[in-house]
Amino acid sequence: AQSVTQLGSHVSVSEGALVLLRCNYSSSVPPYLFWYVQYPNQGLQLLLKYTTGATLVKGINGFEAEFKKSETSFHLTKPSAHMSDAAEYFCAVSNNAGNMLTFGGGTRLMVKP
Amino acid sequence: NAGVTQTPKFQVLKTGQSMTLQCAQDMNHNSMYWYRQDPGMGLRLIYYSASEGTTDKGEVPNGYNVSRLNKREFSLRLESAAPSQTSVYFCASREPHSAANSPLHFGNGTRLTVT
């Protein structure tokens, strides 16, 4: 069975500071990994995904994530936070059959002026 | 381009009442999904439909039924609502179902409260 753990249900940063949202996964096979963002009263939107190949993945809005197999991690980063980045972020892992996407509990990012 | 459309946006039910949540997508996707979102628990899969005419249980199917009406529409029914079903419900679609690296496209959710 696969699972996803997001460390920190709430993260607060100042505008312009580094954003680091942590995600660890467990999977018995090489995983497909995703980060989604949810703005208030909206559905989830894809930020980025890792499938195969390059372990550093770039997404929309300046976010990127690095797949580290040895650490079973897929942390999300952004060098400089903007007020518009305030949202909830979800890490997810897909099984090989593709019929089950397992989500972490989510991390709410707050950006202080 | 509407994407995935869910109705209603909000609903309040009394315990024991029934209702159907509607979902439609205009992206010609074969696979559709229903998730519920609860604080601190992320999204959990209730049911999915890999293609028109098929449905399968997800992680938390108890208390729910689904109907894949046609390729565009996938509805979720609560026959006898319980307070534990208070949640935000999301419909999603993707193409193809079997591609594990294919992302989901989500609707904006239905906020359901059961009193």
Q: What is the pLDDT of residues B45-66, one digit of tens each?
A: 999 998 888 999 999 999 999 9
- A87 min Cα distance to partner chain B (Å): 14
What are the φ/ψ torsions at residue B43 (nearest 5 degrees)? -110, 135
Record the tokens describing residue B33, joined without a space: 């999904």
Neighbour count for residue B93 (Cβ, 10 Å): 26
| Closest Cβ–Cβ partner in A6, A95, A101 for B104 | A101
Closest CA to A2 of A79, A99, A81: A99
- A99 min Cα distance to partner chain B (Å): 7
Q: Does A9 contact B50 at a Cβ distance shorter than 8 Å? A: no
- Give the DSSP letter of residue A61: G
Q: Report whether pLDDT(B106) > 80.
A: yes
Residue with tokens 């018995």: A28
Give the sign of the dihedral formed by CA A41, CA A43, CA A44, CA A46: negative
Q: Report whether pLDDT(A108) > 90.
A: yes
A with B: how many residue pairs have Cβ under 8 Å apart? 62
Distances in Å between the alpha carbon of B110 and those of A47, A51, A80, A111? 22, 31, 33, 27
| Closest Cβ–Cβ partner in B43, B97, B107 for A98 | B97
Mean pLDDT (chain A) is 91
pLDDT at A99: 67
Q: Which residues of B touch A (CB under 8 A)?
A: 4, 40-45, 48, 50, 56, 58-59, 90, 92, 97-104, 106-109
Which DSSP helix (H) or strand (E) runs through B110?
strand B110-114
- A14 min Cα distance to partner chain B (Å): 23
Asked if A85 contacts A74 with a C-beta cutoff of 8 angstroms, the reply is no
Residue with tokens 């509607």: B22
Neighbour count for residue A98 (Cβ, 10 Å): 18
Better pLDDT: A31 or A61: A61
